[in-house]
Amino acid sequence: MDWDHIRVFLAIARQGQLLAAARKLGLNHATVSRRLDALEADMGTQLFVRRPAGSVLTPAGERLMQVAERLEAEVLGISEELRDIEAEVAGNVRIGAPDGLGNCFLAAALGPLVAARAGLVVELVPLPRMFSLSRREADLAIVLDQPADGRLVVSRLTDYSLSIYAARDYLARHGTPVAEADLAQHAVVTGVEDLAYATALDYGELLERSAARKYRCASVVGQLEAVKAGIGIGILHDFAVGADSQLVRILPQATYRRSYYLITHPETAQARRISCCREFLAKLFRDERRRFLPYDQ
């Protein structure tokens, strides 16, 4: 089995189109098509149904996909093992994270990792509702719900807390609520429930069931900016608020606690560039525990 043909097969399966796969691999469309034809001839079966809208795996293609991903992981692993133990950690690592964590913490906190590893290219991407580690949509993913798939490598990074906040000027205009019932006189800022990608994002009900007026933002950063702008009261990540003097923590009896989990695919977890990032993230979250749980006693 020709490895170049397998690389082309994986790219088509992941990109969904021959042209997109060609761009990803830096090849021309004709070369990709020719290599796929050669692989299908070698296998003696059709691997894709080629349609105008894209290429869809056949049952035989789905079966080969499983084998090809294992082969890819073995090749990557062997490449890592053959490097000298002191060799520079190099290559691309894509880290997927929820938008609040990515924008309000990781975007800056990953700086020392990049500075220490000149050959390492870190890609921080927002975590979509549906994603696949096996399709390399992320090498490492930080998630809110512990995955049910027992094959994944999972570690708990940290618990974190959320509290209810309002802007100082909002409270000056509308008064400060001291009990849940007082929310009947206030506007609230919450998430958009049907766009939430994790069950852990279910903490907006307290505000919504009592509020006089409601404003919903799909992103955590959007909610933070809306509350800072004085649109209403919202439940915000304590680590995102930090020492922001514009915001006041209110109703301290209502707090929320959630967890972040780090997951990776078992077949790539030991690759040096990925294990290096995993170790960095584990230490980072240990060192920053007080930031994520600032009101813990």
- Check which CATH number belongs to the domain holding 54 and give it: 1.10.10.10
Rounded mean pLDDT, 200-224? 83
Which pLDDT value is given to residue 82? 54
Which element (helix H / strand E) includes 25? helix 18-25
Cα 217 to Cα 197: distance, rounded to the nearest angstrom = 14
Q: If pLDDT is split at 50, 70 and 90, which confidence band does 113 have?
A: very high
Note whether 252 and 265 are same-domain residues.
no
Q: Say whether both 78 and 222 belong to one domain.
A: no
Strands (E) across the chain are located at 48-51, 54-57, 91-97, 120-126, 140-143, 153-167, 187-190, 213-216, 233-237, 247-250, 256-264
The pTM is what? 0.70
Domain that holds residue 128: 91-158+259-292
pLDDT bucket at 103, cuts 50 / 70 / 90: very high
Same domain, 44 and 120: no
If asked whether residues 241 and 170 sit together in one domain, one would say yes
**Terminal C-alpha separation, the chain:** 60
Our CA angle for 120, 291, 206, nearest 5°, is 115
Give 84's pLDDT tier (boundaries 50, 70, 90): very low
Q: Residue 134 falls within a domain, yes or no?
A: yes
More confident residue, 210 or 57: 57
297 domain residue, yes or no: no
Residues 147 and 222 in one domain: no
Residue 33 lies in a domain: yes
Any idea what the CATH number is for the domain that residue 192 is in?
3.40.190.10
Instruction: Assess whether 177 and 194 both reside in one domain.
Output: yes
Q: How many domains is the chain built from?
A: 3
Query: Residues 228, 167: contact at Cβ < 8 Å?
Result: yes
Give the pLDDT confidence of 237-287 residue by residue, as tens digits: 999 998 888 999 999 988 899 999 999 988 777 788 899 999 999 999 999
Q: Which residue has the higher pLDDT, 162 or 24?
A: 162
Look at residue 85 in the predicted model and tell me its pLDDT: 47
Lowest mean pLDDT among 25-39, 77-91, 205-219, 221-235: 77-91
Helix (H) or strand (E) holding 69: helix 59-82
Specify whether the CB–CB gap between 18 and 24 falls below 8 A: no
